[in-house]
Amino acid sequence: MNEYSRKMVKVPTVNLLREQDMGKLPVLDVRNLGIDFGGLTAVDGFSITVGPTEISGLIGPNGAGKTTIFNLLTGVYQPTRGSVLINGIDIKGMPTHKVNKLGIARTFQNIRLFSDMSALDNVKVGMHNEIKCSFLASLLHLPSYYRAEATANQKAMELLDFMGLADVADVKAGSLPYGVQRRLEIVRALATNPSIILLDEPAAGMNPSETTELMHQIRRIRDTFHIAIFLIEHDMNLVMNVCEAIAVVNYGKIIAKGTPEEVRNNPAVIEAYLGREEDDA
Amino acid sequence: MRILQYLINGISIGSVYAIIALGYTMVYGIAKMLNFAHGDVIMVGAYISFCVTSYLGLPAWAGVLAAVAVCTVLGVVIEGLAYKPLRGTPSLAVLITAIGVSYFLQNAAQLIWSSSPKNFSSIVTMKPISMAGGKLVITGEVLLTVAACILVMVGLTLFTGKTRTGKAMRAVSEDRDAAQLMGINVNRTISLTFAIGSALAAIAGVLLCSTVPTLQPTTGSMPGIRAFTAAVFGGIGSIPGAMLGGILLGIIETFSKAYLSTQFSDAIVFSVLIIILLVKPAGLLGRQMQEKV
Amino acid sequence: MKKLLNNKAARTNLITYLVVVLAFLAMQLMNSAGMLGSSMKGFLVPICVYISLAVSLNLLVGICGELSLGHAGFMGIGAFSGILIAALLKNTIPNDFLRLLCAMLGGGVFAGVVGFVIGVPVLRLRGDYLAIVTLAFGEIMKNIVGNLYAGTDAEGFHIAISTSRMPLGEGGKYIINGPLGATGIQKLATFSMGFLLVLFTLFVVLNLINSKEGRAIKAVRDNRIAAESVGINVTAFRMKAFVVSAFLAGMAGALFGLNYSSVTATKFNFNTSINILVFVVLGGMGNILGSVISATVLYILPEAMRSLQDYRMILYAIVLIVVMLCTWSPKVKEYLSVAADKALGIFRKKEVGTNE
């Protein structure tokens, strides 16, 4: 690993903020993040800022530590070093559910839907903290319960409709096709009213036409809800087309950061993906 | 000197718990099920030994052998008939079935041997060793129990560590599917685990009733629960853990009865269990599994 | 209303309430017509109690997915606190029905509070470990209540947890007498109250299931990590389910305690916890109506088999094992469906034959 860092090519960090994000507090501000599992360093010195309406990508070879980074950002793992600020608030020591309330929501690489519940109910679970109804009211089904449920149903249906899932609202999540399940996970994440969503390989298992559709939807999410999107993806077509900024990690470290154009032409990135050419060969 | 006496008694009863707990822990490790009928196999073992020695007039060793033989078969039959068909179903379904088996064994014993307690005569004929002017008494039962416990422990450790079958057992408990792919006969390995566990239960039954000589159909339930506690205490699935848990539990029980209160010994033992689990959620020697996200 | 009937969950709930109300009316009718034997009459209150216990445990085991082996502990706390409250309020509230109601609420609150206190540390554990800790807790409760003394004398009310009998002054009267349990209880329990208890339990549990709280609880069961990621405080929801379940078990326990002239702590042991769990599992996890039916049938079954004397419990054990195998084992299920198809096939062939 040490040998690697010596060989690393430094890329000047460009200002990747979109024009409309200038001067605004970044929604995600990660500084020098690192985690060790036992003696193994899985992530080290990871820093990134994501503006309030930015679509950025995290790419890297398999096992580079991408999902571990997502787990660190959402409080599933506690970092060994560094800090994560969401909307300016440090998540240090917070359990996952509190981190979510700061405005970060995510999807999972291996889909984690509530498979026994209907698609609509999955979204309503996502809206949990948005539904204003006391414990006693739900226990006794007071009028406020019915009001809250009606509002929730309406909003959940709107969100499903936004992703083109309105007609499967009553279908059990576990029996939906793979691509639909991925989109449902996005809807569930949106339902928590986040300011940034993390998508972990959203296009995995999708066919090309579904992927194209997903690309439009990702842009539409940002443009409609004015939120930031940070995604891990192996489909380079999607990443290069959708993301405005890209970070590349390998062996738990950032090896390049920049616009798609810059990243594409970066020798370190090419090396990480294709292997290194021996200098003395 | 008194404290030493209590310690010895504690180790003795703890050794019985340890032998029972080994059965629990092996079955849990390999079949991932809480076999609540295990305590009742102890009772069956004790009854068999009792019948062979009292009714047939055979020597004690014959009683023990018969008990081991019957319980081994019983264990395999129970597994094959009641648990095997439920493999892969939620653990709660298997748990309830195990409870059904437990009821069955208790009530069958009641039909065969009636519910009135039998007076179990100890299998040990040795005179107690008296030391320090009679202040410290070590009975033959204590010596035999502790010896049996050490023997079982060493035997099991060698078996799981050195033999092919023992290694297969560990492989199945580690990852059943991978073991199957490696050509290990999973069904046979699980049956074998039940056989060993039940044989141990038979030995524990005879030892238990040699120390506490009343034998009735419910004899096995409380030591069963205690031993189960011991297994969890030490870290369920771990063989040295069951041993450690059993002996510690025996010592805690004896000491709390001696110094704190007889009536509250149950509450004390179980409170210690809860505290241990809160501090070390996987038990003393258990491994903590982390869920992969 | 039409919308309500179209909703599947609402329909299932309606059926559940209807079944319970109809069963109550049928029993009342049969009772007034003198069709019920004295033993059957004696079953009515315990059946209601066990239905409530099964439904409340189903909330924990079936809906929440947490295995508890100490439900009888909460029942016991409810029973003894209920008995105490009923005895102490004898002069304050002369109306039997109101006093029973107070005793049940008190029993529920006590059990709920104990549930909360235990839940704080214990609910950090999961799966089999939670099961063993609830088992341990049940045994501790039984042990403590078995050494609880309470009574009144000229100086007023006394209560103690002690290994030796608590002395009472002049005119002393024990309400709870250590290992001898509560004696001389005034039997306040009625079938109508049992029915109300069942209705209340159903109301609370079904409402909870069909609310945002219920969705969160189910979400936690289905996928804990995903539930956390959408902002659900998993521990808080396990706690809510645990406390509600304990509260309901406490109420049922109070009614149970006030149905007998004497009750000892040993009644609320591991076996009772297990029996309630059996009702839940055989009725179907998460299936509330199933719990109601299985608690009723399985309570009556051993009692109805009394004529078989010694064979009754062994038959019960066999029924239990066979039912478990038939409902869960994939192989047995397959065999049964093949057999059923064959039987139906013969039937159909005959039918076809007659048509020709």
Which residues share a beta bridge with B214? B119
Q: Say what the pLDDT of residue A9 is.
A: 36
Kindly report the nearest CA distance between residue A104 and chain C, in angstroms: 9
Chain B: which residues have CB within 8 Å of chain C?
Answer: 28, 34, 82, 85-86, 88-93, 95-97, 99-101, 103-104, 106-108, 110-111, 225, 228-229, 232, 236, 261-264, 266-267, 270-271, 273-274, 277-278, 281-282, 291, 293
| C325–B97 C-beta distance less than 8 A | yes
> Has residue B291 been placed in a domain?
no
- Encode pLDDT of B177-222 as tens digits: 888 888 889 999 999 999 999 999 999 999 999 888 889 998 888 8
Checking if the pLDDT of C2 tops 50, the result is: no
Q: Say what the pLDDT of residue A258 is.
A: 86
| A141–C231 C-beta distance less than 8 A | no
- Chain C residues lying within 8 Å of A135, measured CB to CB: 213, 240
List subunits contacting chain B, requiring 3 or more Cβ pairs under 8 Å: A, C
Kindly report the nearest CA distance between residue B293 and chain A, in angstroms: 8
> Has residue B287 been placed in a domain?
no
8 A C-beta contact, residue C83 and residue C185: yes
Kindly report the nearest CA distance between residue A126 and chain C, in angstroms: 5
Kindly report the nearest CA distance between residue B290 and chain A, in angstroms: 11
Q: Identify the weakest region by mean pLDDT among A272-281, C62-71, C152-161, C216-225.
A: A272-281
> Has residue B284 been placed in a domain?
no
8 A C-beta contact, residue A152 and residue A124: yes
- Encode pLDDT of A42-95 as tens digits: 999 899 989 888 999 999 888 888 999 999 999 999 999 999 999 999 999 999
Q: What angle do CA A23, A28, A34 make, to 5 degrees?
A: 135
Which of C133, C163, C310 has the CB atom closest to B110's CB atom? Answer: C310
Checking if the pLDDT of B285 tops 70, the result is: yes
**What residues contact B196, with CB distance under 8 A and at least 6 apart?**
B23, B26, B156
> Torsions phi, psi of C70, nearest 5?
-125, 25
State the architecture of A1-103+230-281 in CATH terms.
3-Layer(aba) Sandwich (3.40)
Place of tokens 């690993």: A1
What is the distance between the terminal CA atoms of chain C, rounded to a whole angstrom? 49
Chains B and C form CB pairs within 8 A to the count of 127
Closest Cα in chain A to C226: A112
- The length of chain B, given as a count of residues: 293
Disruptive mutation site among C1, C220, C229 for chain A (greatest number of A CBs within 10 Å): C229
8 A C-beta contact, residue A201 and residue A135: no
* Choice between B12 and B291, residue whose per-residue pLDDT is larger: B12
The whole-angstrom separation of Cα B151 and Cα B163 is 17
Mean pLDDT rounded to a whole number for chain C: 86
pLDDT range class, residue A22, cuts 50, 70, 90: low
Q: Which two tokens stand for residue C110?
A: 């006590």
- Encode pLDDT of C266-303 as tens digits: 899 888 998 899 899 888 888 999 999 999 998 888 77
- Chain C residues lying within 8 Å of B281, measured CB to CB: 124-125, 129
Place of tokens 């003395």: A280
- The length of chain C, given as a count of residues: 356
List subunits contacting chain A, requiring 3 or more Cβ pairs under 8 Å: B, C
| B228–C314 C-beta distance less than 8 A | no
Which of B90, B110, B263 has the CB atom closest to C147's CB atom? Answer: B263
Which of C67, C320, C332 has the CB atom closest to B100's CB atom? Answer: C320
| C278–B264 C-beta distance less than 8 A | no
Determine how β-strand C173-177 pairs with β-strand C156-161. unpaired
Per-residue 3-state assignment (H helix, E strand, C coil) for chain A? CHHHHHHCCCCCCCCCCCHHHCCCCCCEEEEEEEEEECCEEEEEEEEEEECCCCEEEEECCCCCCHHHHHHHHCCCCCCCEEEEEECCEECCCCCHHHHHHCCEEECCCCCCCCCCCEHHHHHHHHCHHHCCCCHHHHHHCCHHHHHHHHHHHHHHHHHHHHCCCHHHCCCEHHHCCHHHHHHHHHHHHHHCCCCEEEEECCCCCCCHHHHHHHHHHHHHHHHHHCCEEEEECCCHHHHHHHCCEEEEEECCEEEEEECHHHHHCCHHHHHHHHCCCCCCC
- The length of chain A, given as a count of residues: 281
| A96–C240 C-beta distance less than 8 A | no
List subunits contacting chain C, requiring 3 or more Cβ pairs under 8 Å: A, B
| C214–A138 C-beta distance less than 8 A | yes
- Encode pLDDT of B231-241 as tens digits: 888 888 888 89
Kindly report the nearest CA distance between residue C237 and chain A, in angstroms: 11
Q: Say what the pLDDT of residue A215 is.
A: 93
Q: What angle do CA B75, C276, C262 make, to 5 degrees?
A: 115
Domain with C282 in it: 2-138+187-259+267-308
The whole-angstrom separation of Cα C233 and Cα A98 is 8
Q: Say what the pLDDT of residue A12 is.
A: 38
Q: Say what the pLDDT of residue A133 is.
A: 84
* CATH number of the domain to which B199 belongs: 1.10.3470
- Chain C residues lying within 8 Å of B99, measured CB to CB: 274, 277-278, 320
Chains A and B form CB pairs within 8 A to the count of 4
Q: What's the total number of domains in chain B? A: 1
Angle of helix B186-211 relative to helix B38-50, nearest 10 degrees, comes to 60
Identify the CA nearest to A161 among candidates A194, A179, A183. Answer: A183
Instruction: Please give the distance of CA B88 from its chain centroid, rounded to a whole number.
Output: 25
> Has residue C151 been placed in a domain?
no
Q: Say what the pLDDT of residue C352 is.
A: 54
Which residues share a beta bridge with A196? A104, A228
8 A C-beta contact, residue B106 and residue C320: no
Kindly report the nearest CA distance between residue C278 and chain A, in angstroms: 23
Where in chain A are all domains bearing CATH 3.40.50.300? 1-103+230-281, 104-193
Q: What value of ipTM does the predicted structure carry?
A: 0.85
Q: What's the total number of domains in chain C? A: 1
**What residues contact C138, with CB distance under 8 A and at least 6 apart?**
C69, C70, C71, C72, C73, C268, C269, C270, C273
The whole-angstrom separation of Cα B109 and Cα B114 is 7
| B111–C314 C-beta distance less than 8 A | yes
> Has residue B182 been placed in a domain?
yes
Domain with B232 in it: 2-127+161-279
Closest Cα in chain B to A68: B293
Q: Is the Cβ of B293 closer than 8 Å to some Cβ of chain A?
A: yes
Mean pLDDT across the stretch B130-149? 84
Place of tokens 């309830």: B96
- Chain A residues lying within 8 Å of C234, measured CB to CB: 97
- Chain B residues lying within 8 Å of C269, measured CB to CB: none
What's the pTM? 0.85
Q: Say what the pLDDT of residue C347 is.
A: 67
* CATH number of the domain to which C208 belongs: 1.10.3470
**What residues contact C343, with CB distance under 8 A and at least 6 apart?**
none
The whole-angstrom separation of Cα C333 and Cα C344 is 16
Neighbours of C170 (CB within 10 A): 7
> Has residue C166 been placed in a domain?
no
The whole-angstrom separation of Cα C295 and Cα C287 is 12
- Chain B residues lying within 8 Å of A108, measured CB to CB: 293
Handedness of CA C112, C299, C15, C20 (dihedral sign): negative
> Has residue B237 been placed in a domain?
yes
Identify the CA nearest to C329 among candidates B97, B209, A79. Answer: B97
> Torsions phi, psi of A32, nearest 5?
55, 40
Chain A: which residues have CB within 8 Å of chain C?
Answer: 74, 76, 95-98, 100-101, 105-106, 108, 112-117, 121, 124-126, 128-129, 131, 133, 135, 138-141, 145, 148-149, 152, 188-189, 191-192
CATH of A104-193, one of 3.40.50.300, 3.90.79.10, 3.90.550.10, 2.60.40.420: 3.40.50.300
Kindly report the nearest CA distance between residue B233 and chain A, in angstroms: 26
Angle of helix B265-279 relative to helix C96-122, nearest 10 degrees, comes to 50
